[in-house]
Amino acid sequence: MTANSSITIRRARRDDVAIIVGMLADDPLGSARERIEAPLPQSYLTAFEKIEREANLQLVVAEDSEGIVVGCLQLCILPGLSSQGASRGLIEDVRVAKHCRSRGIGEQMVQWAVGQARAKGCILVELLTHSSRVDAQRFYERLGFKRSHVGMTVRF
């Protein structure tokens, strides 16, 4: 058992994009999807600018006590008419740097996101996790999430 790491969660900046992409790529599903090159492909920076423009989207990073980025997460607050006009939170792209896992960083990030959603009046937080990510599903169950839905996708 390793003690929980103390982290700080802050909004991602443009100069965090490369390290975030590194974390997205360092993953069984992500490794086939990302392009780690120097300089970073422009598509990532363009996407970062799009995220910045959406008022309901927050891409955040977790920094360790030395200011090193060790995790990331994206939270979207989705207003909607259902459930008496309740908003929902959607969590995406949760990653913790491989050498920093099992220290409670993912848990602190997800709990932060759930707290943010709650503070913004959401009645629930939802996420899709790939069926093959059995460990992730157990992780979210430990944090109070239920396997209530089927996540369906169509890819182009």
Contact residues toward a copy of itself (CB under 8 A) are 17, 20-21, 24, 30, 33-35, 41, 43-48, 50-51, 53-57, 59, 74, 76, 78-88, 90, 92-93, 114, 118, 122-131, 137, 140-141, 143-156
Nearer to a copy of itself, 9 or 76 (CB): 76
Q: How far is CA 98 from CA 2, 24, 66, 149, in A?
A: 15, 11, 17, 28
Please tell me the total number of residues recorded for the chain in this structure: 156
Nearer to a copy of itself, 6 or 142 (CB): 142
Smallest separation (angstroms) from a copy of itself to the CB of 10: 16
Q: How far is CA 53 from CA 15, 37, 56, in A?
A: 17, 25, 9
Nearer to a copy of itself, 50 or 98 (CB): 50
Query: Are the C-beta atoms of 149 and 137 separated by less than 8 Å?
Result: no
